[in-house]
Chain A
Amino acid sequence: MFDIDFNEKGEVVVSGRLDAAHASRAQAFLDRVEGGCVVDMGSLEYISSAGLGVLLSTHKRLMSARQGLELVNVNPHINDIFRYSGFDKLFVIRLA
């Protein structure tokens, strides 16, 4: 299962498993985001390279206007994937 939506603060909330089967839905949602955006990952259980690609392409698009994604409530397992991928050097990441 994977879900993505806005919360009442206007943050993007993702939950479940962001894998290759769900990456296109996540990309379609994030394509609607303009300006800087916080992504709450507190309920995200898993991410693969397909999900990393969605974050990377969205971040690059937003950073072209000097904005970007801020990834918050990141659990240690997901953070390990971010570190192995070098995402800790590209994104503002806040651990849970």
Chain B
Amino acid sequence: MRRSYKRNFDQIARIVADTAQFFSEHNIDDALRMKVDLSLEELFVNMVTYNTETDRDILLEMKPIDGGIEVSLTDYDVERFDPTLGGQVDIDAPLSERTPGGLGLYLVLKMADSIHYEYHDRTSKITFRNIKSGGGAG
């Protein structure tokens, strides 16, 4: 699957529907849905929120792999930002020190069985995999 989405949060519902259809068409284990939905949303929201220099669509690609799924999101006209280097959150901190910031990427890194970042010509591509019974959380 290869599909583009406008840069706004209303597109999340479309992404969820397209993901559900892809899972069904390719008989991908539904146990992976929550992880894939979460990682997709967090990465998409991150692109929409932090890259305001362009109105180009964000490209979503999915393909079935042995035991799971590979998902890529590509953003254009963007500065380099490697999400695999971030995502540090102290989940043991007391309530007074907790803030919502950073939780999204932290969860992506927690959920994915593998994640890869590419950057060239002001184009960012993030690819993650989720595999049934893989090493990701849960």
Contacts and interface: CB of A to CB of B under 8 A. Distances in A.
Is the pairing of A and B real?
Answer: yes
A86 B106 CA distance: 11
B100 A20 contact: no
Contact of A80 (B12, B41, B137): B137
Contacts of B41: 19-20, 48
B73 to A, nearest CB: 15
Interface in A43-79: 46, 48-50, 52-53, 56-57, 59-60, 63, 77
B45 A84 contact: no
B113 to A, nearest CB: 15
Contacts of B96: 60
A82 to B, nearest CB: 10
B10 interface: yes
A53 B34 contact: no
Interface in B72-94: 89-93
Nearest to A52: B103
A33 B110 CA distance: 32
A49 B42 contact: yes
A56 B98 contact: yes
Contacts of B104: 48-50
Contact of A63 (B89, B91, B95, B99): B95
B37 interface: yes
Nearest to B103: A49
B42 A21 contact: no
Given A21-B10, A84-B137, A89-B92, A46 B107 contact: no
Contacts of B10: 21
Nearest to A68: B95
Contacts of A19: 9, 12, 41
Contacts of B126: none
Contact of B103 (A17, A21, A53, A60): A53
A95 interface: no
Nearest to B105: A49
A90 interface: yes
Interface of A: 17, 19-21, 46, 48-50, 52-53, 56-57, 59-60, 63, 77, 80-81, 84-86, 89-90
